[in-house]
Amino acid sequence: MFDIIIAVLTALGGFGVFLLMLAENVFPPIPSEVILPLAGYAATQGRGGLAVTIVAGTLGSASGAVLWYYVGRWIGVDRLKRFAARHGRWLTLTPREIDQVEGWFDRHGRWAVLLGRMVPGVRTLISVPAGVSGMPLLTFMVATLVGSAIWTALLVLAGFRLGRQYGQVAGFIEPASNVVIATAVVWYLWRVATFNGRPGRH
């Protein structure tokens, strides 16, 4: 992966950063904590300016998020509730609980998206409930761009400052990302095991 990222950055510069971050959001296993510090390091070697790298990374990340937002819009609340009525255990939510989550997202969704864009393991998925809840596209885009810009700038600047030791960034973030993902998996399995069609299933 290292050689591929370097080849893309060398050949395409800022546009390469855009494409890599777009891919990272469409295919989450490609980690931004590897791409962005490496892009920051590449900027120290004359492969694209620092500002261009940050802007390109932010736009690529936000573009990928829009795809998942529209996946959520396609699913919609009504379709999700019908699925929950039939297969609530696997969704771990009843239709009434979906209404409650939608209400919470209506009140706090913009902050959930903004902060979620800076949490490994959550960055991509936070776009789906935003779309499902019908969050206005402009609101979603503002929150996504701000959160993505902060995340991108932090990782690019870290790689720029660390130089050849840019790999330390991924070494620090990757364990935290694994903890978040593992916690989410355990939480989901617990919800499935304890789900009993609580009041509200209709």
- Is 137 contained in some domain? yes
168 pLDDT more than 80 = no
164 pLDDT more than 70 = no
Structural domain of 94:
2-194
- Rounded to whole angstroms, the Cα distance separating 17 from 56 reads 6
User: Residues 53-71: what's their mean pLDDT?
Assistant: 93
- Is 43 contained in some domain? yes
What is the DSSP code (8-state) at residue 13? T
- Is 69 contained in some domain? yes
pLDDT at 181: 66
Whether the pTM exceeds 0.85: the reply is: no
- Is 42 contained in some domain? yes
Task: Output Rg (C-alpha) for the chain, integer angstroms.
Answer: 19
Report the domain count for the chain.
Answer: 1
- Is 49 contained in some domain? yes
- Is 200 contained in some domain? no
In total, the chain counts a number of residues equal to 202
Per-residue model confidence as pLDDT tens digits over 124-154: 788 988 998 889 999 999 999 999 999 999 9
pLDDT at 201: 42
Determine contact, residues 173/121, Cβ cutoff 8 Å: no
Who has greater pLDDT, 94 or 154?
A: 154
- Is 20 contained in some domain? yes
Residue type, position 189, single letter: L
User: Residues 112-135: what's their mean pLDDT?
Assistant: 86
- Rounded to whole angstroms, the Cα distance separating 150 from 109 reads 18
Distance of CA 13 to the CA centre of its chain: 23
- Is 202 contained in some domain? no
What does the block give as tokens for 102? 């939608």
In a 13 Å sphere around the CA of 28, the CA atoms on its Cβ side amount to: 16
User: Residues 85-111: what's their mean pLDDT?
Assistant: 79
- Rounded to whole angstroms, the Cα distance separating 59 from 156 reads 14
The contacts of residue 103 (CB under 8 Å, 6+ apart) are none
